[in-house]
């Protein structure tokens, strides 16, 4: 009998290395720091850890501006530290996934530097998207696209003689030059990088901007670039759904057919290694039904489903989102995934209103998510119930803040280092943390939460433990759930065998009738009670019931 796959129902914990644990007192987290906390990772009850980039980088975009994808940036340590971490994570029985960033290289990458010093039309320039400008003196960019981070998607170079030269494309920061995936050097180099990390033993990759690699019609203006930029932004909410859907259904630089060929070739590489090496796509595609195309059986393994990352805590939104997701992935027999937070979005508690109410909603939302079929991703600190920290503009580092002239505060609030204990700087660093840790986080420290059976941390541990043990949750390839009738504002379903969930997304306490013969497994907040068949659900709570003894 073949061994069961480890990944379709896995719980994967995202470590943002710069903010996890500092080991050398420079105020920034590093790989040795992660290694020192491996027992903590193990204690959570997750299956794997995904590390955001720790590669050589000038760090203009949190390391997503890679200058050497096969080396470790000194701020994070060195290659030996990476090897030790891979080994250390494996030793405690966890798996490790690393990021790969194929849409762009840092402008510090030797290829880009070589391109700058090479003539127009040279092989070195062909690895990127270099074009002459339009207008009499080439002063108008080759097309009118905007950067996702704000401002134009093109920057002009300066030639050796000091005169303005060609333009290069950057969908993100101007220090992140888009690679040309029509170029064979690019293909070969990324294959080399995949093999490099696979040879070192990583169990898979999170693929950054996985929908962006293939571009079409570069030398053509978009009919409404400003509207397109707004449509791509999650925080723009005043755009009619129909307009957004129309704009997003045809983005000249996202979700083009050409990306799939690349992933088919990568899949062959993953499959050629022993053990199951996996890949998860970061790809925002529209309509969401297009996501299934990335996880066809000869392409990638998972694609993040970001529905929950932006959804309110509301049954009216969540039920259709769950139904749609399950239907879509079922068509390609791929497992669904669920994501509540990551380093690019406000923290869950903050998004759900903040304060104590936000914290209870976050727990209820997590408990719902942990009961769904498929894989889940948990962003570091989500288990501690952290909210976004307030930051002064002077300490912000996110290029989004700078490229929007401060109109958009950016993502630093979700990237503040973790509070561990009562020593210096919450045990994160002996130096000055790269972002200040809010003093109010003293009640959120791991050391306190560890001791408190009602803490968010222990709630996550319990929820993940049950998830990995209950026969209905621990993983089958049957991704269906059986919906139950429920009052407005309530989510109710069963999973086979013997598992029932009720989630009350309203702020009122509700009395419901539970199925016969069940007992209470887990409630997301005090006050969830089962007396006979009478189930009491406080506002913003989730409960799990079991029929199994
Ligand atoms: C998605 C990453 O998660 C984000 O942090 C980064 O800024 C962009 N891709 C560009 O690489």
Residue 479, pLDDT > 90, answer no
| Shortest-distance atom of ligand 1 to CA 104 | 11
Which of 106, 172, 379 for mutating ligand 1's site (highest number of atoms within 8 Å of CB)?
172
Distance 417 CA to ligand 1 centre (A): 18
Mutate to test the pocket of ligand 1, among 104, 344, 346 (most ligand atoms within 8 A of CB): 344
Q: What is the per-residue pLDDT for 2?
A: 46
Catalytic residue among 22, 99, 282, 344: 282
- What kind and span of H or E run contains 308? helix 307-310
Q: CA 217 to CA 145: how far, in whole Å?
A: 11
Burial code of 407-416, b = ≥16 C-beta within 10 A, e = fewer? Answer: ebbbbbbbbb
DSSP lists the bridge partners of residue 279 as: 205
Q: Report d(CA 59, CA 419) in Å as an integer.
A: 23
Alpha carbons 541 and 72: distance in angstroms, whole number: 43
For this structure, is 203 an active site residue?
no
Whether residue 301 is predicted with pLDDT greater than 60 in this model: the reply is yes
Phi and psi at 256, nearest 5°, equal -90, 155
pLDDT tens digits along 315-348 = 999 999 999 999 998 889 899 999 999 999 999 9
208 labelled catalytic:
yes
Q: What is the DSSP string of 380-402?
A: TTGGGT--PPP--GGG---HHHH
For 144-185, what is each residue's pLDDT tens digit?
999 999 999 999 999 989 999 999 999 999 999 999 999 999
The active-site residue, picked from 208, 328, 344, 359, is 208
Mean pLDDT value of segment 225-229:
95
3-class SS letters over 182-239: CCHHHHHHHHHHHHHHHHCCCCEEEECCCCCCCCCCCCCCCCCHHHHHHHHCCCCCCC
Model confidence at 368: pLDDT above 60? yes
Reported as type and span, the H/E element at residue 280 is strand 278-281
Among protein residues, the one with the nearest Cα to ligand 1's atom 6 is 64
Are residues 183 and 129 in contact, defined by beta-carbon separation less than 8 angstroms? no
Strand, coil or helix: 511: strand
CA 380, chain centre distance (Å): 11
Give every CB contact of residue 209 below 8 A, 6+ residues apart in sequence: 101, 102, 103, 104, 171, 172, 282, 283
Q: Whose C-alpha lies nearest to ligand 1, atom 11?
A: 64
| pLDDT score of 517 | 95
Which one-letter DSSP state was computed for residue 515?
A: P
Q: Which residues line ligand 1 (CB under 6 A)?
A: 61-62, 64, 101, 172, 208-209, 282, 343-344
Closest atom, ligand 1, to C-alpha of 61:
7
Integer Cα distance of 31 and 25 in angstroms = 13
Task: Write the residue with the smallest CA distance to atom 5 of ligand 1.
Answer: 344
In degrees, rounded to 5, the angle at the alpha carbon of residue 42 between the alpha carbons of residues 310 and 457 is: 50
State in Å: Cα 61 to ligand 1 middle. 7
Position 94 confidence tier, pLDDT thresholds 50, 70, 90 = very high
Of the listed ranges 90-104, 235-249, 377-391, 417-431, the least confidently predicted one is 235-249
Q: Quick one: what percent of the chain has pLDDT higher than 70?
A: 99
């Amino acid at each position: 009998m073949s061994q069961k796959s480890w990944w379709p129902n896995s719980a994967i914990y995202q470590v943002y290395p710069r903010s996890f644990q500092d080991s050398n007192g420079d105020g920034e987290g590093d790989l040795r720091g992660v290694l020192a906390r491996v027992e903590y990772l193990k204690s959570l009850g997750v299956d794997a850890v995904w590390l955001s980039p720790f590669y050589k980088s000038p760090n203009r975009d949190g390391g997503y501006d890679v200058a050497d994808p096969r080396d470790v940036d000194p701020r994070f340590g060195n290659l030996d530290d990476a090897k030790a971490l891979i080994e250390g994570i494996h030793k405690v029985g966890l798996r490790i996934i690393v990021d790969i960033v194929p849409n762009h290289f840092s402008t510090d990458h030797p290829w880009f530097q070589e391109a700058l010093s090479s003539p127009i039309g040279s092989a070195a320039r062909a690895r990127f998207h270099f074009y002459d400008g339009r207008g009499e003196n080439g002063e108008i960019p080759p097309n009118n696209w905007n950067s996702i981070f704000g401002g134009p998607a093109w920057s002009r170079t300066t030639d050796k003689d000091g005169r303005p030269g060609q333009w290069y494309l950057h969908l993100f920061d101007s220090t992140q030059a888009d690679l040309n995936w029509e170029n064979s050097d690019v293909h070969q180099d990324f294959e080399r990088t995949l093999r490099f990390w696979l040879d070192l033993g990583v169990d898979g990759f999170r693929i950054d901007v996985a929908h962006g690699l293939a571009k079409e019609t570069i030398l053509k203006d978009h009919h409404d670039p400003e509207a397109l930029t707004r449509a791509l932004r999650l925080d723009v909410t005043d755009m009619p759904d129909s307009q957004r859907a129309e704009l997003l259904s045809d983005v000249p630089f996202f979700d083009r057919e050409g990306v799939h060929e690349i992933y088919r070739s990568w899949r062959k590489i993953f499959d050629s290694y022993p053990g199951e090496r996996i890949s998860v796509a970061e790809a925002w595609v529209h309509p969401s039904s297009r996501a299934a195309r990335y996880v066809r059986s000869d392409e990638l393994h998972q694609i993040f489903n970001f529905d929950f990352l932006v959804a309110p805590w509301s049954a009216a939104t969540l039920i259709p989102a769950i139904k749609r997701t399950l239907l879509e992935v079922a068509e390609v027999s791929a497992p669904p995934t669920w994501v509540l937070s990551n380093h690019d979005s406000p923290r869950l508690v903050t998004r759900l209103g903040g304060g104590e109410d936000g914290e209870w909603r976050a727990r209820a939302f997590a408990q719902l998510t942990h009961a769904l079929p498929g894989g889940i991703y948990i962003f570091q600190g989500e288990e501690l119930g952290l909210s976004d920290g307030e930051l002064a503009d002077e300490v912000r580092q996110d290029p989004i803040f700078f490229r929007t002239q401060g109109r958009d505060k950016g993502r630093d609030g979700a990237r503040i280092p973790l509070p561990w204990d009562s020593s210096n700087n919450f045990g994160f660093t002996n130096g000055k943390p790269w972002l200040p840790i809010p003093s109010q986080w003293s009640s959120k420290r791991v050391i306190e939460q560890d001791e408190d059976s009602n803490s968010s941390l222990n709630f996550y541990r319990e929820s993940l433990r049950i998830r990995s043990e209950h026969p209905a949750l621990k993983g089958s390839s049957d991704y269906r759930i059986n919906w139950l009738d429920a009052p407005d504002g309530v989510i109710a379903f069963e999973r086979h065998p013997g598992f029932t969930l009720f989630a009350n997304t309203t702020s009122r306490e509700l009395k419901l009738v539970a199925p016969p013969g069940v007992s209470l497994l887990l409630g997301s907040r005090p006050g969830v009670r089962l007396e006979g068949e009478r189930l009491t659900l406080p506002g913003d709570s989730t409960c799990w019931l079991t029929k199994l003894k």
